[in-house]
Amino acid sequence: MTITFNRETYASLLAKYQPKLIKTDEENEQAITLAEELSHRVNRTLEESALLDLLIALIEKYEDEHYPMEESTARSMFLHLIDAQSVNEAELVAILGSKEVVSQVMSGKQEITQEMAKVLGNFFHVDTSLFEN
């Protein structure tokens, strides 16, 4: 059985929810709430999936314009993983070799070398390319 997209049903959903360009944080929150509701709906229809895709595009456009993400660097990934996994200085010294090296890498005074990237990738269980600039 082939499920087909019903334009009338989709038109009814559009009329009910009236999606539009998001211009405020409040509108963004409303769109997110609806998108979450649709994404968790069991037996979501094709029309609901199309509305969900539209909402996601609108949300992403708004958030990209109003909350741009800084480009990540090897150092920012390193610092993020340390924080996210609650890694202490002693653990870092054990894998990088010295307190001085850890301090210099954390402060940005020393770049993460390829060898360090391999060790850090193994330690954090991530791809070593995260530590390449």
Q: What is the mean pLDDT of residues 1-18?
A: 90
Distance, CA of 92 to CA of 41 (rounded, Å): 44
Indicate the pTM of the whole model. 0.56
Question: Could you tell me the residue range of the domain that residue 124 belongs to?
Answer: 74-131
Q: How many domains does the chain have?
A: 2
CB atoms within 10 A of CB 102: 20
CA-based R_g, the chain, Å = 23
In a domain, 50, yes or no: yes
Examine the pLDDT at 68 and tell me if it is beyond 90. Answer: no
Give the sign of the dihedral formed by CA 26, CA 50, CA 18, CA 34: negative
Asked whether residue 47 is domain-assigned, the answer is yes
Residue 2 domain-assigned (yes or no): no
What pLDDT is attached to residue 13?
Answer: 95
In a domain, 1, yes or no: no
User: Is the same domain home to 44 and 78?
Assistant: no
- Domain at 124, CATH number: 1.10.260
30 and 81 share a domain?
no
Indicate if 55 and 78 belong to the same structural domain: no
